[in-house]
Structure 1
Amino acid sequence: MGDIVSLGGADDGVRLVEFERAIPGRPATSRRPAGPRILRFSEIPSGAQVFLTDSEIAFLQKEGRFRFELLNEDPDRPRRERPTNLGLTEEESRYADCHLDYVVACYGMPGGYKKSRPKLRPIIKEVAERRGEKPPSPSTVMRQVEKWLVGGDVLGKAALIRKRRYANTQQPWAPKLLAAMRSCTYRALLLPKGSASDVLALLRIWADENYPDGNVALPSLRTMERELAKVDKYIKDYLRKGGGKAGRANAAYYERPLPALPMEEVEVDHTTFDVQLIDDQSDIVFGRPDVITIRCRRTGMVLGLGIGWEMPSFASFIEAVRHAMYEKDLSAFPSVKTGWPCRGRWRRMFVDNAMHFLGVSIAHAANELRFEVVELRPGEPWMKGAQERLFGILNSRVAHAVPGTTLSNTAERREHEEALEPPALTLREFEAFLVTYICDEHHWAPHTGLGPLRTLPDVPIRLWRQEIGKVKIRDLPHPDTFASLAGDVDHRTVQHYGIDWDYIRYQSDELIPILTHPKHKPGKGKHKGTLYRVTRDPKDLSRIWVFDPYRKLSIEVPAVRQDYAAGLTQHQHAVIIAHHLRTVRQFVDIDGLLRTRGQMLVEIERLRKRRNVQGIERKLARFLGQQKAKRIRSRVTPANDSATASAEPLDIEDPSFVKAPEVRSPQASNLNRRMRENPERVRQVEAEPGRPPKKIARMPKKDAAQAAVKAPPSTSSSDLDAIRNTNSDWDDV
């Protein structure tokens, strides 16, 4: 009673039950036979009752669905696990084998086994002499025979081992202190170099906060070291390095079965090669190339690759897909001897989360190109370990062997820093090395994991030639599909000289229908022209596609400078343009230009100041003249009621009796003109044709009445007596 047994198997589930008691079977009568004995079990942890007969237990035990898990040999001690032959230590196995010889010899006694020390001693002595060891006591042998009778039928020799001793499970510390020790241990593991001394220091702070009187005995440093050593490795990695690192470091690896045919499953990944590349025509350093490869999982063949200069983008991914699907043109690589026979469309592509172009774009491309995308779970590089291994081989065989390599890590680079050569490999040379190695060496070398078992090697080209005939190659997509998927889209105007895009000019006769269309606007000044959708391939800037909205078709427009743009990538063009502008800035003395510009501005400012001063003086003179005219017009004079004066012509030199006409600019607004009620008009004398006008006598300047009211003479006169007579109130000094 109290033994724990497991019922069932992997197909129907395993249930743990505890034996409670045996129910005797009904006795036999004259009418019916005796009933079987029933054993009652209680399921853990639900407590449901399970009833089994001896025959049912025997049937389950034969199928391996009735197993002892824990035995309750001593009710006062905790139940212990029932060992089996596979769960024995080497020491326990030697002990059981030794005593099994004595047990078998006792069972072979004449007349059967008898519990008699005199009869057992000669048998024990004979076995000990045969084994060459000291004979055990008869009591020990009889005790082992008893164990064999009880559990030998089920457990075999595992029933003869000693009872396993268990350490004292009772903790010497209070539960609250144990919880604090565990908490401080986890807090110390959060530190990058947390140790047992840190745990003890944190525990000291906890004791001071919770027990200010200090009546707490803390464990020793050795105890903290043992507690720290008990922490599971996953928990240590999780606290120190995060859940992702803990999962990758402690996860189990599983191999995936290979597909049945080539082109059924492929895997794609990228890596940045450890080499610096330069331009083919100049010394411009483009940087480290990022290579994307597509590999067939069944044969190990590299179907295609794409070379980019930035971190993996959707454009470089599409370039690799295009290269993998179509026939390879190896005319630029005459050193390749064996060719590259891979082409076609696959069914399923495996990608991981390290590919930064995952998302809506790749899903849309998969729908158009008609293949399925399977995203592997993050942190599981073994799911495509062959692809990772391929990158390691390419880096070590190609990148690390050419000049300009940067090696794989900083420590290794520091050791070889003096021996490393400057970048000297161009993009074309690097691509030639890469293609030659893939075609002539990688495809023809045996690789582990391609055989009928994953541990057996095989040759990729052999598998491809043997099994590709079983695959039906589907029709491939139109080349324009790739340009539309990975193309860089913008809107540009179409002019008579063509289209400018990032300093590259594109021109074609096909643009004439757009230029001559009635709805086309070329744009002039502040008026913008008509914008048209243009698309270019980031991997080849030698041409663009312009969508004609009037004819509803796409026009291919080549670059004017094909010697520069043919085969040029967008990243290369950007690096070349940036290098050129930087060179121009370095050649031009920017500070000198700024000084020259500043001196010009200072001189212009000085001239503007002088001109402004002259203008102010002219404005001041004009203002004073206007004020004088205003003063003359506003002067009050007596009315001219003399008939003699009225009969005479106007005195032009002294127009005292006639108001001067107002002079205004012809650009002045009429609303600003001063309105005069009765302006005096000047009579005009018209001469008869052929006859001069008559001479009219001039009237006297002033009459007697006007002379009487004439103003006194000016004080500027030098006659002192006249001035004194005029001012009679002055005092003599």
Structure 2
Amino acid sequence: MSGFAFRTGSAFEWGGAAHRIYRLGPNDQVVLERDTDGQTVVCTRDDLLTAYREGKITAKREGPVSSAPILFGRPLQELPERVRAELRRRIAYVQGIIDIGFFIFTPAFLSPILQNIATKISDLKPPSVTTAYRWYKRYRVSRQMRALIPRYDRRGSSAPRQTDRVLELAAEATEDAYKASPAATGKSIHDRLVGKIRAENLRRSPDDQLVIPALRTTYRLFDRMEAYDLHVLREGQASADRRFRIVKGGPKVEHILERVEVDHTPLDLFLVDEVTALPLGRPILTLLIDVYSRFPLGYFLSFGGTSTAVVMGALRHAVLPKEHTKEVVPNLKVEHRWPCYGRMDLLVLDNGLEFHSDDLESVAFDLGVDLRYCPKHQPRFKGVIERFLKTVNYYFAHQIPGTSLAKLADRGDYNPEKSAFLTMAEFKHLFDKWLLDVYAQTVHRGIGTTPWAKWHEGEARRTPELPESLADLQRRIGLVRERRLRHDGITLDGIRYAGPELEPVIRKWGPGIKVRIVVDAQDLGAIQVWPPESQDPVTVLAIDQTYAHGLTRYQHELIRDRVREIGASEEDGEALAAAKFQLASAIDELMKSRKQKNRRRAAHMHGKTSDKPEARFVPSNERAMAPVTKPKPGSSNPILAQPPAGQLSTFTLNIRQGN
């Protein structure tokens, strides 16, 4: 086998340049000649051996490159037994010739030698002198016995015999067949190819006709296609990129909260209402996970789909220290407390609209969190959260009665709506139990230990940081708006906010000054107002606390829609209170609906989330209970009339239809 050796004339690459040993001197000195410029380099054997050990030297093949045979480089065990037997036979003859020391390739000299070797190895058909010379020459050029391996696989031509135009038509026929159906066969491709060739021949002269290949030829052309190209035709390039990609190592993290990933998923589980016991549907889980420890930082459950408010709820839960889980299910104690809290350095998101909002960007800036978006349609860039959400569904939700399973075909006769019995509060209790006492205490294959141990290991090296206070966090996590301050305060979506906290602002800056507002979408009872040049906001309460306290933004939007429908003012307290009462009645009717989508919508209207699992929309304003009448022309206080007994109001019908 040829390689690197201290011989005069040996060629090798060192440091990206070709060198050759010019002379071997005394005291282990080696004189090299650099091929690129003829420069002489003096070094020692130890220098070259050290460079070889570090992988900086690569020996070059000696002799003319054009005459060197193409060697079989794979392990010999992959060769068939008959090929290996032939190799051993050839080696015996070549080695026997080399062992003589002096020889000439003439029949008179070499024939007795070949016959003697044949007798030793029991070969009934010894090679001719010409054949032996050809074997020896192949060995002499390469200096490797591998050159004697029979290359039966290289016999004949491997190039297609069809013309270039036929090959082009074959590619078009294959593409057309797979566009028509992903289940295209070789026969359907051949039929299309025949049609294309016949159409082409109609435009050609009689002496320039294309030959129609046989069906077997089409199959051979089809077999030449690479697996990647075939998958692109069948299922598209995006699917092919996912299937044929090489999975590399994920991002390297060295501390907790260094990299956090967030995403949503519909839970494969139906939950029920705690009052009616009717199934509400599958909630949406929004979750943040720490990549270093694989420990979930926080989550948010809701029935209203994905939104910026949902992301804010999950972010708030992730940053804040967690209180001990409320025990809703009897005799089921959560043994471990949730240790995770603190601001993360980097938050990795996908390209959902809720993640590209100005509100989230503003909150991230205030908290000192860097946002990083993954490329579109490539979830592998946040593979930790993607894999964990699958774990939640497969190893938790699928094991509970009421699970919808991952695929409809897996259900069989099983009806998840009839089997469901968990309320939102009960599910939250079970979920916390599974997260803290089961998942966090199980060895994670990706980190080699439990998420619980990994988090505490990281916490020993880095202490999580929180905002200055809870109030400071509440000031920063929410929906961001801009409004002008007037004499009557600030009006936001029809709700007026005013108080003595605004007097210094209006005295200094005057009426009409723009202020920054942070709103909690889950409670419109108060807002955070940032005056110009102020380092801290002030909390301003709504004037009508009876209406606004505990009211969600989604509930308020429904009430405003109702008030606009009747033509009343959106700042009319009586109209808002009446519409609020009618919304509560409509939600109760939806909760009793036979359609599951209506009950799910009702749960969203009630404001059921993981923060408020037992929330119910019940207006406490007594003025909302008074009978109302339709507005008369010129009336200053128009409010909708109550519908006759047994008849649904227009409002109920609208929200039942999703309007």
Q: SS of the residue aligned with 1:447? A: coil
Structure-2 residue corresponding to 1:363: 361
- Matched to 1:230, the amino acid is R
Within the candidate set 222, 229, 232, 2:216 is matched to 222
Q: Counterparts of 1:90 and 1:382 in 2: how far apart (Å)?
A: 39
Q: Counterparts of 1:285 and 1:185 in 2: how far apart (Å)?
A: 50
Question: How far apart are 1:362 and its partner, in Å?
Answer: 3.6
Structure-2 residue corresponding to 1:677: none
Cα deviations by residue, 1:87-138 (Å, 9 ceiling, x for unpaired): 9842398357624752685267466677634345444544x37xxx878547
Q: SS of the residue aligned with 1:190? A: helix
Q: Is the 8 A contact 1:351 1:373 kept in 2?
A: yes
Structure-1 residue corresponding to 2:479: 487
Moved more, 331-340 or 269-278: 331-340
Q: SS of the residue aligned with 1:98? A: helix
- Matched to 1:424, the amino acid is F
Structure-2 residue corresponding to 1:348: 346
Matched positions, count: 518
Structure-2 residue corresponding to 1:102: 92
Within the candidate set 80, 99, 104, 1:91 is matched to 80
2:653 counterpart of 1:588: no
Q: Counterparts of 2:643 and 2:61 in 1: how far apart (Å)?
A: 84
Structure-2 residue corresponding to 1:190: 179
Q: Counterparts of 1:180 and 1:511 in 2: how far apart (Å)?
A: 79
Structure-1 residue corresponding to 2:443: 446
Q: Counterparts of 2:506 and 2:113 in 1: how far apart (Å)?
A: 125
Cα deviations by residue, 1:313-353 (Å, 9 ceiling, x for unpaired): 22222222221222101252472111111112222223334
Structure-2 residue corresponding to 1:298: 292
Aligned 1:124-523 pairs, distance under 5 A: 124-126=118-120, 128=121, 137=127, 139=129, 143-152=134-143, 156-163=144-151, 164-169=153-158, 171-192=160-181, 193-212=183-202, 216-256=210-250, 258-283=252-277, 285-333=279-327, 335-353=333-351, 356-358=354-356, 360-413=358-411, 415-418=412-415, 421-450=418-447, 457-476=448-467, 478=469, 479-482=471-474, 484-487=476-479, 511=499
- Matched to 1:339, the amino acid is R
Q: Is the 8 A contact 2:350 2:374 kept in 1?
A: yes
Aligned 1:53-72 pairs, distance under 5 A: 63-64=57-58, 66=60, 72=66
Q: SS of the residue aligned with 2:219? A: helix
Question: Normalized against structure 2, the TM-score is what?
Answer: 0.64
Q: Counterparts of 1:69 and 1:389 in 2: how far apart (Å)?
A: 55
Q: Counterparts of 1:266 and 1:300 in 2: how far apart (Å)?
A: 9
Q: Is the 8 A contact 1:309 1:571 kept in 2?
A: no
Q: Counterparts of 1:355 and 1:9 in 2: how far apart (Å)?
A: 55
Moved more, 83-92 or 434-443: 83-92
- Matched to 1:588, the amino acid is G
Question: How far apart are 1:226 and its partner, in Å?
Answer: 2.7
Moved more, 471-480 or 427-436: 471-480
Q: Counterparts of 1:263 and 1:467 in 2: how far apart (Å)?
A: 9
Q: Counterparts of 1:568 and 1:70 in 2: how far apart (Å)?
A: 83
Structure-1 residue corresponding to 2:527: 545
Q: Counterparts of 2:384 and 2:211 in 1: how far apart (Å)?
A: 57
Unaligned runs of 5+ in 2: 1-10, 23-31, 508-513, 559-582, 593-641, 651-659
Aligned CA distance change for structure 1 residues 475 and 591 (closer, same or farther; 3 Å): closer
Structure-2 residue corresponding to 1:699: none
Unaligned runs of 5+ in 1: 1-6, 16-24, 26-35, 40-49, 74-78, 451-456, 520-530, 593-733
Cα deviations by residue, 1:226-262 (Å, 9 ceiling, x for unpaired): 3233233333333343332222222211112542222
Cα deviations by residue, 1:341-398 (Å, 9 ceiling, x for unpaired): 1112222223334675235444333222112223333444444433222212211233
Q: Is the 8 A contact 2:325 2:432 kept in 1?
A: no
Aligned CA distance change for structure 1 residues 488 and 412 (closer, same or farther; 3 Å): farther
The structure with the larger Rg is: 1
Cα deviations by residue, 1:56-111 (Å, 9 ceiling, x for unpaired): 9x9999922646999644xxxxx984443559842398357624752685267466
Moved more, 323-332 or 548-557: 548-557
Q: SS of the residue aligned with 2:297? A: strand
Q: Counterparts of 1:286 and 1:69 in 2: how far apart (Å)?
A: 80
Cα deviations by residue, 1:253-273 (Å, 9 ceiling, x for unpaired): 111254222222222222111
Moved more, 88-97 or 347-356: 88-97
Percent of matched pairs sharing the same residue: 18
Aligned CA distance change for structure 1 residues 83 and 170 (closer, same or farther; 3 Å): closer
Q: SS of the residue aligned with 1:421? A: helix
Q: Counterparts of 1:398 and 1:304 in 2: how far apart (Å)?
A: 17
Question: How far apart are 1:471 and its partner, in Å?
Answer: 0.7
Q: Is the 8 A contact 2:135 2:148 kept in 1?
A: yes
Q: Is the 8 A contact 2:359 2:480 kept in 1?
A: no
Q: Counterparts of 2:114 and 2:64 in 1: how far apart (Å)?
A: 33
Q: Is the 8 A contact 2:496 2:542 kept in 1?
A: yes
- Matched to 2:229, the amino acid is I
Aligned CA distance change for structure 1 residues 513 and 268 (closer, same or farther; 3 Å): closer
Aligned CA distance change for structure 1 residues 10 and 218 (closer, same or farther; 3 Å): farther
Q: SS of the residue aligned with 2:80? A: helix
Q: Counterparts of 1:433 and 1:398 in 2: how far apart (Å)?
A: 9
Q: Is the 8 A contact 1:398 1:433 kept in 2?
A: no
Q: SS of the residue aligned with 1:271? A: strand
Q: SS of the residue aligned with 2:356? A: coil
Q: Counterparts of 1:69 and 1:285 in 2: how far apart (Å)?
A: 81
Q: Counterparts of 1:120 and 1:174 in 2: how far apart (Å)?
A: 48
Question: How far apart are 1:444 and its partner, in Å?
Answer: 0.7
Q: SS of the residue aligned with 1:149? A: helix
Q: Is the 8 A contact 1:405 1:421 kept in 2?
A: no
Aligned 1:709-724 pairs, distance under 5 A: none
Q: Counterparts of 2:164 and 2:453 in 1: how far apart (Å)?
A: 67
Q: Is the 8 A contact 2:259 2:292 kept in 1?
A: yes
Aligned CA distance change for structure 1 residues 276 and 418 (closer, same or farther; 3 Å): closer
Cα deviations by residue, 1:456-511 (Å, 9 ceiling, x for unpaired): x3112122223311114334265455555433769899999x99989xx999xx75
Structure-1 residue corresponding to 2:575: none
- Matched to 1:469, the amino acid is A
Q: Counterparts of 1:471 and 1:439 in 2: how far apart (Å)?
A: 21
Question: How far apart are 1:430 and its partner, in Å?
Answer: 1.3
Structure-2 residue corresponding to 1:695: none
Aligned 1:618-637 pairs, distance under 5 A: none
Cα deviations by residue, 1:545-596 (Å, 9 ceiling, x for unpaired): 275999994314599679x97597958997967534657989633699xxxx
Aligned CA distance change for structure 1 residues 209 and 86 (closer, same or farther; 3 Å): same
Q: Is the 8 A contact 1:253 1:382 kept in 2?
A: no
Query: Relative contact order (C-alpha < 8 Å, sep 6+): which is higher?
Result: 2
CA RMSD in angstroms comes to: 5.1
Q: SS of the residue aligned with 2:254? A: coil
Aligned CA distance change for structure 1 residues 491 and 423 (closer, same or farther; 3 Å): farther
Structure-2 residue corresponding to 1:652: none
- Matched to 1:194, the amino acid is A
Structure-1 residue corresponding to 2:600: none
Structure-2 residue corresponding to 1:579: 587
Moved more, 104-113 or 259-268: 104-113
- Matched to 2:355, the amino acid is F
